[in-house]
A and B are shown apart, each in its own frame.
Chain A
Amino acid sequence: EAGVAQSPRYKIIEKRQSVAFWCNPISGHATLYWYQQILGQGPKLLIQFQNNGVVDDSQLPKDRFSAERLKGVDSTLKIQPAKLEDSAVYLCASSPEAGINEQYFGPGTRLTVT
């Protein structure tokens, strides 16, 4: 069974630029999560989708971050404009259903904002 796929793996941008990350969850997983992991900290949830609907985006900085999962499969997370403090690893995870099953993480995208 293929795992969670993410791209790109690394991205370096200047502050005020925009960037987008892509995630394809494990086949058949209805729930998709985006986490932000700053160096030395645990992952923090940004947004959770159940199929193509948003379940939880309370921690998403909506003035600069946006995410979509239009067909209930893959997802895109965008940052516009980026700030220095957005430098982090952005992790995508999926689970068969929310609230019950374990979550499985993709390899992540390491973002550096200069």
Chain B
Amino acid sequence: QKEVEQNSGPLSVPEGAIASLNCTYSDRVSQSFFWYRQYSGKSPELIMSIYSNGDKEDGRFTAQLNKASQYVSLLIRDSQPSDSATYLCAVRPNRGSTLGRLYFGRGTQLTVWP
């Protein structure tokens, strides 16, 4: 069973702070990792993907992956009220097949207050 666990929210940070979102996964063969942002009543929007150990930066977002420890995190620097949303961690095993199933966590609700 492939489980994806995210730190329970809600997470509340002041504007301008760093928001840290964490995710752990149980399937060691997982190779692809994604962070989606979901505003209330909207569909998930892909914001970051990461495939190898280390950090990947895109603007104010940094994804960090540690396969040995089986965790992936998302840092949001200079948080803005518009970042207030639920952040979904998704993991995809890569077994060399055509299967593309994503396993999602429950999401962490982030609130950035002015």
Contacts and interface: CB of A to CB of B under 8 A. Distances in A.
A42 B45 CA distance: 13
B101 interface: yes
Contacts of A33: 100
Interface string B18-55: 00000000000000001010000011111001000000
Identify whether the interface residues of B are mostly helix, strand, loop, or mixed.
loop
B38 to A, nearest CB: 9
Interface residues of B, number: 23
Nearest to A50: B98
B67 interface: no
Contact of B106 (A42, A45, A56, A102): A42
B46 A104 contact: yes
17 contacts: A33-B100, A41-B106, A42-B4, A42-B105, A42-B107, A43-B104, A45-B102, A48-B99, A56-B99, A98-B98, A99-B97, A102-B34, A102-B49, A103-B46, A103-B102, A105-B44, A106-B43
B46 A102 contact: yes
Contacts, number: 59
A107 B43 contact: yes
Nearest to B93: A99
A44 B105 CA distance: 10
Interface string A54-98: 011000000000000000000000000000000001010001001
A56 B2 CA distance: 15
B105 to A, nearest CB: 5
B70 interface: no
A105 B104 CA distance: 14
A54 to B, nearest CB: 11
A31 interface: yes
A99 B98 contact: yes
Contacts of A25: none
Contacts of A106: 43
